[in-house]
Structure 1
Amino acid sequence: MDWSQGGKAEWLKKAKKALHAGDIHEVERLILSLAPTPTDGSEGEKSNAPYFTRNAHRMRYADFKRSKLVIGSGSVESSVRRIVNLRMKGNGTFWNRENAEGMLLIRSYLKAGRLDDLADWSLQQTTPWWTAAKQQLSGPLPEARRIQLAAS
C-alpha cells in the first residue's frame, strides 16, 4: 500500500465510495489489504475487519439515501442539545436521577410531537402512587372538598 499523502487519500476515497454504495464486502477487502498477514497464527489486526460484515444491515447507506433518511449524526447531536442541554442544564439546576430520566422522557415525546402517546401510555400503567391516589379519590370526600363541590 502506498502510504504517501496521495495514496492515503486514494484509499480513503475508495473506501468511502464503497461504503456509501453499500458495498460492505469491498470495504472489508480494503481494510484487510491494510493489515499484514500475521505470521504467528494470531488474528492480529484482521480481527476487526469482520465488523463491517456483521453490521452490514446497519450500513445500507445507499438505501437510506434513496429513502431520504439522514445518515449523519448531526440530527442526533442536535436533538441532544435541544432536549437535554438547553432545557435540563443550567446554572443552579440540579436533578436527581429519577426526576431527570422522567423529564427526559417527557421532553423527548414533546419534541417528537408524540406527547399524546405518552399520556395514553401513562394512563394505562399502574404505579404504587397512582393506585394509592385512586383509592383515596374513590373513598369518601373530605368535608372541605364536599363543601367546595356543593358551592360550585
Structure 2
Amino acid sequence: MSTCLDYYHAVEHLARVAEAKTFASLIEKRAWLDNMKKLLKKAPPAVFLAELAKSRRRGNAVIRREYAYFKTNMSAIDYARLSREKQPIGSGAIESAVRRIVNLRIKGAGTFWKLENAEAALHLRCQLKTNNWSMFYADLLNGLAA
C-alpha cells in the first residue's frame, strides 16, 4: 500500500494558490480552482504539477511554497491511480478507525493508563480489529517456545 495525502487536505493547499493568484474575476478564480481540482484528482501528478508550474512562474512566495509542497508530495497525490485501485483518497476511514479503535478504548470516562500499558493495549486491540489476532497469537506462542 502506498502513501496517500488526504485529497481534501491537498485541495486546501490548492485553494491557497488560488487566493495568492491574480484573477480578473471571482468567476475566473473559481473556474481555475475547479479545473485544478479535476487535474489533481484525475490526471497523473506530473500533468497536475506542470499546470501548477505555470502559476509558479508568475507567482509569489505563497505560490512557490505550495508548488514545492505538491512537488515534495508528488508520490502521495496520484489520486487517479488510487481511484483505479479502489483505494481511499481521503483520511475519513482512518480518522473513524482512530475514534473506534483508539479513543473509545483508551479515552473512556474515568479511564487512566500508564503510557506503556496504553501502547500494549492498543497493539492488542489493533491486532484484533484488523483480523490479525490468529497470526499474532501464533507468532507470540512461537516466540515463547523459542
Give the match for residue 116 of structure 2: 98
Identity value in percent: 36
Q: TM-score, normalised by structure 1?
A: 0.67
Relative contact order (alpha carbons < 8 A, sep ≥ 6): 1 or 2 greater? 2
Give the match for residue 81 of structure 1: 99
Give the match for residue 16 of structure 1: 37
List per-residue Cα deviations over 1:44-69 (Å, max 9, x = no partner). Answer: 44244233233322222111111111
Question: Aligned pair 1:5/2:23, yes or no?
Answer: no
2: CA distance, partners of 1:37 / 1:72: 28
Residue 29 of structure 2: SS of its match in structure 1? helix
Segments of 5+ residues of structure 1 without an aligned counterpart are 39-43, 132-152
Q: Which has the higher helix share?
A: 2
Q: Is the 8 A contact 1:27 1:52 kept in 2?
A: no
Segments of 5+ residues of structure 2 without an aligned counterpart are 1-21
Structure 2 counterparts to residues 48-63 of structure 1, below 5 A: 48-63=66-81
Aligned residue pair count: 123
Larger radius of gyration: 1
Q: Give the partner amino acid of 2:40.
A: L
Residues 117/88 of structure 1: CA separation in 2 closer, same or farther (3 Å cut): same
Q: TM-score, normalised by structure 2?
A: 0.69
Moved over 6 A (4+): none
Residues 3/102 of structure 1: CA separation in 2 closer, same or farther (3 Å cut): farther
